[in-house]
Structure 1
């Protein structure tokens, strides 16, 4: 009896029971969603409040799951997986790329957005592609797939890591880095918003498929989230959200065939 009670107590203290995340969130009446809050146009702070594509997706998702409140938690790509595993938040809705390595540690929803890596350089730079980056200073956001790409695919480069893409692009604009690897949509948005003297160079380096991550074994939660996302795609809600934030891009169209 004592052993059973102890095990029960440990489960309660340890956070989410496998497969029961949906019910726990509904009982609490709030879903805790991790985002960087520094990754526009996906998620960022506007007048001190969370805004962007990911924020609107999170709010709509909670509404469709019957959850009254979304609590946005500031985190970063390096901490997302550990935070989910430790129960510091319930889900990550922050443009997290679905990879085989990450799938060993957390579960993912069906894709809700696609993205692509671009090289951004100074407005007068002659850099035209990856081959021109060898031995150069390249800015990336720590913990992202862009950082992994740079380490793997740019020989001899000096990789400079930053907390977010704004900082990396600013370094390029000021001439303290030769290039930055950033989402094409995000880089264009940030350059315009902040008046940065940067431009995209060459074709997309990689396409990324992004999902919502949460604790492994959360089968009921995954089924509910996947259904809600599917409904949002089918009824035009995701199209409206994406056109609002992504310069007229229809994300539902981009997701076809993914």
Structure 2
């Protein structure tokens, strides 16, 4: 009886969110321009604007942003500490085994960042045996551990900490998203720069517990509308240096864009 009641409650996430009038969204609050804290310590950025617009289209009056990190996102959403994650999670088969994902809302890429003036590193092969920084629990960490021979992989809670350490010489390079690394370097005046070509493309979605099919369906419908009516284009142009994210999403193969 308890199991049945539990399952019913768990399967009614969308109704519960609407009844509560609050959508609980997890993000790192430390990954600009995607999400970070402004001068008044309020969450801001691409993910925040997307979350607020999404809540409006779901007829939910308020978004409660909950600070977390990539190592805790899956555990937290499965434990009902928040309703969904909107923080640039790359959609991977391993993650799909534990949570469900929305249709993609971001396309990103990984760059190598080095200290300004470092001419010895231009490609992944140049990182063999070196100290490489990554944000813990990200696909960049997986890439570094699997693809860089003999690398001393050092993890950080977020990219801000890693790039700052890179600027101080604590690591030889850092793997980080193309937008995020450049934004942080410009905003904080860090002596770091991207080198070489993008290492790989990342397709990012919003994640939910696997017993949230109605919430996922509603989110996917709202995202499709935001792509079609220009809302997502406007948000991305504001935060991503004029990039039209909706146009990038439309270029994805059909099997990846759902």
Same fold judged by TM-score > 0.5?
yes
- Please tell me whether the aligned partners of residues 119 and 201 of structure 1 are also in contact (alpha carbons under 8 angstroms): yes
Tell me the residue number matched to 1:102.
Answer: 95
Q: In the comparison of the two structures, how many residue pairs are matched?
A: 250
- Distance change in 2, residues 1:63/1:75 (3 Å): same
SS in 1 for 2:57: helix
Tell me the residue number matched to 2:256.
Answer: none
SS in 2 for 1:204: coil
* Deviations 1:87-137 (CA, angstroms, capped at 9, x unpaired): 000000000000001011000000001100000001111111111100100
Tell me the residue number matched to 1:74.
Answer: 67
Q: Describe how 1:31-180 pairs up with structure 2 within 5 A.
A: 31-46=23-38, 47-126=40-119, 127-180=121-174
* Deviations 1:205-249 (CA, angstroms, capped at 9, x unpaired): 010000010010311111110110000001100000001011111
Deviating 4+ runs (over 4 angstroms): none
Q: How many angstroms does 1:257 deviate by?
A: 2.6
Q: How many angstroms does 1:176 deviate by?
A: 1.4
Structure 2 CA distance for aligned equivalents of residues 175 and 8 of structure 1: 56
Tell me the residue number matched to 2:3.
Answer: 7
* Deviations 1:144-170 (CA, angstroms, capped at 9, x unpaired): 000000000001010010011011111
Tell me the residue number matched to 1:30.
Answer: 22
Match of 2:224 among 230, 235, 243: 230
Match of 2:215 among 207, 221, 224: 221
Q: How many angstroms does 1:185 deviate by?
A: 0.5
Tell me the residue number matched to 2:192.
Answer: 198
Tell me the residue number matched to 2:13.
Answer: 21
Q: How many angstroms does 1:16 deviate by?
A: 5.0
Query: TM-score, normalization: structure 1?
Result: 0.94
- Please tell me whether the aligned partners of residues 84 and 91 of structure 1 are also in contact (alpha carbons under 8 angstroms): yes
- Please tell me whether the aligned partners of residues 107 and 213 of structure 1 are also in contact (alpha carbons under 8 angstroms): yes
Structure 2 CA distance for aligned equivalents of residues 68 and 156 of structure 1: 50
- Please tell me whether the aligned partners of residues 42 and 52 of structure 1 are also in contact (alpha carbons under 8 angstroms): yes
Query: TM-score, normalization: structure 2?
Result: 0.94
Q: How many angstroms does 1:7 deviate by?
A: 3.5
